[in-house]
A and B are shown apart, each in its own frame.
Chain A
Amino acid sequence: MQATEVVKLLLGIGEPLVGRLLTYDALGMRFREVKLRRDPKCPLCGTSPTIKDLTIHMDGGGGACAITPDGAREPLPAAATPKAGG
């Protein structure tokens, strides 16, 4: 699936998964699509970003403690809980 997206992006064809999260449940054999919106309060790509370089990563951990989580965000559907495995 990632390879298909790469080819589409390189060729500028079709509709890439920009702003859409596709989830796959192998046991239920179901695909779901979740619309994703840009978060204006995003610390990286929001309107007033606080992350302007990679110093947040200097201590490791992806900046786990460096940002206060924004409690006002809409919760993502259960299917979209983050997954670490690669």
Chain B
Amino acid sequence: MKTLREMLAEARQVVPEEGPADLQRRMNSGEKVVVIDVRDPDEFRDGHIEGSTNISRGFLEFRIGTAVTDPATPIVLYCQTGLRSVLAAKALRELGYATVINLQGGYQKWVQSGLPVVRDVPMTPDQIQRYSRHFLLSQVGDRGQRRLLRAKVLLIGAGGLGSPAALYLAATGVGTLGLMDGDVVDLTNLQRQVLHTTGDVGKPKVESGTRTIKALNPDVNVIALPTRITVDNVMDIIKDYDLVVDGSDNFETRYLVNDACFLAGKTNVHGSIFQFEGMATVFAPHEGPCYRCLYPTPPPPGLVPS
């Protein structure tokens, strides 16, 4: 009969190991790698590597097919100290997965190396009910919902475009919404700017916007920024967010947001409207074009009505 020691030694002969720093490099390089935490769900909830999927050791062979569709995709497995995962990695190799790597030292060594971890705060019964329809979507699920709850999105403008975006993002459960607008609500805004109500006329848009968002979903942390975006504040503000939604109403701001997002490496979800026409696109730095690729310079004042 084999001893545990012999089994581990055998597995180590066929499974390459990498340390925490190597894994972080792989994950940051944009390489297509699947990281699987093979510990039990309660260990995973207490803390795990961001971006990893939890398939506990006992279910690995049953569920790997859904987590990894292409057997050529590199897979990194980890457990608490690197022992359970090395045996698991050997099993995956035997199933025919070409590149299966074990995280040497496991989650424990990852934490000791000072690398970032994510802890799942248990969802409240209200949250479980509120987002239950998301859990049914395989592309969202419990994990996606947690990711949304951790996300920070900046909305530039709480007007015609910012209003519906804010409402839908709040309903979806995006955890932090920065709401930036220096204007006050005007009666003429109300036929389209659905964040605000008749009683809000004369109040700052971020004030009525915050109230509407909180009423829709109290989970959302709203950061009210009652100011116009300027060259002096833009970089300092956008640095705190994962994504920017440009719903501004003038070209000066559009170019400023475009340039600042590109320089800060933030994706800019762009929208603009005029009368019965609208357009939308996404400016992802280095992945696709930016606003200046479309329109290198702002139109002369007065040429395009705003």
- Chain A residues at the B interface, C-beta cutoff of 8 Å: 1-7, 9-11, 13-14, 16-27, 36-39, 42-46, 51-54, 56-58, 60-64, 66-67, 69-70, 73, 76, 79-86
The 6 closest A-B pairs by CB, nearest first: A62-B255, A84-B306, A86-B249, A3-B168, A18-B288, A83-B274
A-B contact pairs, 24 of them (CB 8 A): A2-B271, A3-B169, A3-B245, A5-B280, A6-B245, A18-B281, A18-B283, A18-B288, A21-B279, A39-B293, A39-B296, A42-B296, A44-B262, A52-B263, A54-B235, A61-B301, A67-B296, A81-B304, A82-B295, A83-B279, A84-B272, A85-B160, A86-B159, A86-B272
Residues of A within 8 A of B306 (CB): 84-85
- In the bound complex, do residue A54 and residue B260 qualify as a contact, i.e. CB atoms below 8 Å apart? yes
CB distance from B166 to the nearest CB of A (A): 8
Docked Cα-Cα span, A20 to B293, in Å, equals 12
B132-186 at interface with A (beta carbon < 8 Å): 139-140, 144, 147-148, 151, 153, 157, 159-162, 164-165, 167-169, 172, 174
- In the bound complex, do residue A57 and residue B255 qualify as a contact, i.e. CB atoms below 8 Å apart? yes
- In the bound complex, do residue A79 and residue B296 qualify as a contact, i.e. CB atoms below 8 Å apart? no
- In the bound complex, do residue A53 and residue B299 qualify as a contact, i.e. CB atoms below 8 Å apart? no
Docked Cα-Cα span, A42 to B292, in Å, equals 6
B284-303 at interface with A (beta carbon < 8 Å): 284-290, 292-301
- In the bound complex, do residue B172 and residue A83 qualify as a contact, i.e. CB atoms below 8 Å apart? no
- In the bound complex, do residue B280 and residue A85 qualify as a contact, i.e. CB atoms below 8 Å apart? no
B250-281 at interface with A (beta carbon < 8 Å): 250-256, 258-260, 262-263, 267, 269-281
Q: Select B281's contact among A20, A37, A54, A81, beta carbons within 8 Å.
A: A20
Residues of A within 8 A of B259 (CB): 44, 51, 54, 56-57
- In the bound complex, do residue A6 and residue B269 qualify as a contact, i.e. CB atoms below 8 Å apart? yes
Pick from B234, B263, B297 the residue with the most CB of A within 10 Å.
Answer: B297
Q: For the complex, count residues of B whose C-beta is within 8 A of A.
A: 76
Residues of B within 8 A of A19 (CB): 287-289
- In the bound complex, do residue B169 and residue A6 qualify as a contact, i.e. CB atoms below 8 Å apart? yes
B65-100 at interface with A (beta carbon < 8 Å): none
- In the bound complex, do residue B296 and residue A43 qualify as a contact, i.e. CB atoms below 8 Å apart? yes
- In the bound complex, do residue A17 and residue B231 qualify as a contact, i.e. CB atoms below 8 Å apart? no
- In the bound complex, do residue A62 and residue B289 qualify as a contact, i.e. CB atoms below 8 Å apart? no
Residues of B within 8 A of A37 (CB): 289, 293
- In the bound complex, do residue B231 and residue A39 qualify as a contact, i.e. CB atoms below 8 Å apart? no
Docked Cα-Cα span, A65 to B282, in Å, equals 26
| Known contacts A2-B270, A11-B148, then 4 further A-B pairs from the complex at CB < 8 Å, ordered by chain A residue | A21-B280, A24-B279, A79-B277, A82-B304
Residues of B within 8 A of A79 (CB): 277, 279
